Amino acid sequence: MIQNKYKVVVIGAGFGGLWVAKALAHSDYEAIFIDKNNYHTFLPLLYQVSAAEVSPEQIASPVRSILRSKKNIQFIRGEVSQINYSKKVIVCLGQEIPFDYLIVSAGSVNHYFEIPGAGKFAFPLKTLDDAMVLRNHILTCFERASFINDEEQRKRLLTIVIAGGGPTGVEFAGALAELIAGPLKKDFPELKNEKIALHLIEASNNLIGMYHASLGQYTQKQLEKKGVHVHCNAKVNAIDASGVHLHDGSVLPAETVVWTAGVKGRLVSNDLTIQTVPDGRIVVDEFCRISGYTDVFVIGDLACFIQDGKPLPMIAPVAMQQGKYVGRLLKRLLKGKKVKPFRYSDRGGMVAIGRNKAVSQIAGMHIKGYVAWIIWIFIHILYLIGFKNKIFVMINWVWSYIFFEKSVRLILPGCCDDPHGDLCLHRGRSCKG
């Protein structure tokens, strides 16, 4: 390697990071990518892992094989413990790594809004590990319910509450309703006379609030048709081992509470007092830089980029566009060219509700039902990383479409659940070993 190349360090191999990598590939920069996982996760399909529709491997791609052809890019699997702006180094796995330019694309973590018990008792759905734990947990609840004699306990085991009616909550509720109504009903003939309850709780008066109200209402109607109990204008007061306490004083006893109600920026500790907004995001300027710094960029969920007076949403397309933008910006800098400010181009969004049903909002149009569903499938397969993953996910979807099956109904790995205990795994309850 040529010693005098500029060094770029990129923290995070999510959508933001990977789009930087694409732009910087074969450039005159020497780049180091750092992620705590050795794989990139295709987060838009994460809920399908929890709903036993696809397997975790099918929405993950090894970062090293994505970066393999880009000879100027190196990968380190590890967590960044410190950013030192004045010295221009980051600390990873105890070693200092110098940078000329730093791009922070560390993503987001769950935001529990200080609701008591939410962080401890609700299941998160933010990482591939989370998704597997949740799948295992739900299947374990059914196994236990099929064998237990206590009526009340069985009812609690068969109640699932999803807190948060945004896209993730809606998509998961739809997929879970289909898992329960189809494969699980057939798998558990012992439970055919039992009531299995799936609740979706939303604090505002409409599901998927960032979409047009008519799409939210359509979504609610479709979910209700699938048997989901949708509670709008319902606020969670507290979550404990027994279930969910709502602000109107009512209690939903449930063994499974899933948190999809909010995310916040995933801060990396640093030596600087940087300006953050209440959801933990770092305020950036029109070039995606931390104000006052010419060499530190923040992109994706962690960045708070104000456009037309409003912060951009924390979604994948923003991260991709920002990643591509910053990568190109660095290349232009090297050539001494001028750079234009970043501008997000909103190409719309879409939410799957289930079989043949989705909503999408593209170029001002509000599309519902089958057409939206076909668009959803097409876009998700298109952006899913890895050709073989695309094939596997497609086969799984066709399979479950034809046979009404979700075939990844495996409690695997088993290390995090306890078939013997009275209480169930993880989330502040019991866990063996």
Residue 260: strand, helix, or coil: coil
Q: How many residues bind a copy of itself (CB under 8 A)?
A: 53
Using the rule CB under 8 A, which residue among 28, 96, 98, 190 binds a copy of itself?
190
Q: Is residue 415 at the binding interface for a copy of itself, with CB under 8 A as the rule? A: yes
User: Degrees (nearest 5) of the Cα angle 297, 301, 303?
Assistant: 35
Which tokens go with 236?
Answer: 């969670």
Q: Which of 79, 96, 152, 171 is catalytic?
A: 171
* Residues shown for the chain: 433
Q: Is residue 68 at the binding interface for a copy of itself, with CB under 8 A as the rule? A: yes
DSSP structural state of residue 181: I
**CA–CA gap between residue 345 and residue 210 (Å, rounded):** 16
**CA–CA gap between residue 30 and residue 74 (Å, rounded):** 8
What is the longest distance spanned by two Cα atoms in the chain?
Answer: 74
Stretch that binds a copy of itself, among 56-64, 303-311, 352-360, 375-383 (CB under 8 A): 56-64
Binding residues for a copy of itself restricted to 127-156, rule: CB under 8 A = 128-129, 132-133, 139, 143, 146-147
Phi, psi (degrees; rounded to nearest 5) at 131:
-65, -40
Q: Is residue 419 at the binding interface for a copy of itself, with CB under 8 A as the rule? A: yes
Using the rule CB under 8 A, which residue among 23, 70, 78, 374 binds a copy of itself?
78
Q: Is residue 271 at the binding interface for a copy of itself, with CB under 8 A as the rule? A: no
Stretch that binds a copy of itself, among 170-178, 292-300, 321-329, 401-409 (CB under 8 A): 401-409
Q: Work out whether the CA dihedral 259, 135, 424, 161 comes out positive or negative.
A: positive
Q: Is residue 96 at the binding interface for a copy of itself, with CB under 8 A as the rule? A: no
- Least distance between a copy of itself and beta carbon 360 (Å): 29
Cβ atoms 9, 31 nearer than 8 A? yes
Would you give the distance in Å from CA 109 to the centre of its chain?
9
Q: Is residue 423 at the binding interface for a copy of itself, with CB under 8 A as the rule? A: no
Active-site annotation holds for 30: no
- Least distance between a copy of itself and beta carbon 48 (Å): 13
Phi, psi (degrees; rounded to nearest 5) at 65:
-80, -25
Identity of residue 266: R
Q: List interacting residues with a copy of itself (CB under 8 A).
A: 36-39, 55-58, 60, 62, 64-65, 68, 74, 76-79, 93, 95, 128-129, 132-133, 139, 143, 146-147, 183, 186-188, 190, 386, 388, 391-392, 395-396, 399, 405, 407-416, 419-420
Catalytic residues, by residue number, are 171
